[in-house]
Amino acid sequence: MQFIEKLAKDRNASPDGRLEAINVLGARQSIDSKTLAPLLWIDEPFVIRRAVAKVFKERGCSEDCISGTLTALHAIWEGQPTLEVQATALVPSSTPHAQEHLVYLRKQTEEDYFVLLNSNPCLTGKALKTKYGSNSEFFEKIRKQVGPC
């Protein structure tokens, strides 16, 4: 299992190999959220974030998952670029289609994150208050989109 966990986290591994490792980890009787939650971060490829979000949607979003999701969403809303945005910035002349695709990927990422946050509104509220209680703007934006506890 250690090999599978390493493969899931290995940024130099093929995306297909990483996705297969994530699927294997997600199929285990109990999932290791400490291994998977960091893969929700915005510097992971979209397909990796999406696969991990799917695992957590199906198996439940733990405290690590909620915390990682909040951190990633906060980073996006603060203007930190996702991996796809960083890659596109390296291309001298990005097309309008490429920009539309980036908007689509960001929308999908945010939707995935809110599904996770809404899967456990009580835990989300607790983590939100602990981590972002002093950031009233972010706190309120999240509270408006997460169901009641």
In the chain, the percentage of residues whose pLDDT exceeds 70 is 97
Q: 92 lies in which domain range?
A: 2-145
- The answer to whether residues 113 and 73 touch, using CB atoms and an 8 Å cutoff, is yes
Using alpha carbons only, give the angle 24, 118, 134 rounded to the nearest 5 degrees.
115
pLDDT grade for 1, boundaries at 50, 70 and 90:
confident
What pLDDT, on a 0 to 100 scale, did the predictor assign at position 54?
96
85 or 10: which leads in pLDDT: 10
pLDDT digits (tens, 9 = 90+) for 82-138: 998 888 777 766 677 878 888 899 999 999 999 999 999 999 999 999 998 888 889
* pTM for the predicted model, two decimal places: 0.88
Q: How far apart are the first and last CA of the chain?
A: 35
For the chain, how many structural domains are there in total?
Answer: 1
DSSP single-letter state for residue 146: S
Determine what percent of the chain is predicted with pLDDT higher than 90. Answer: 68
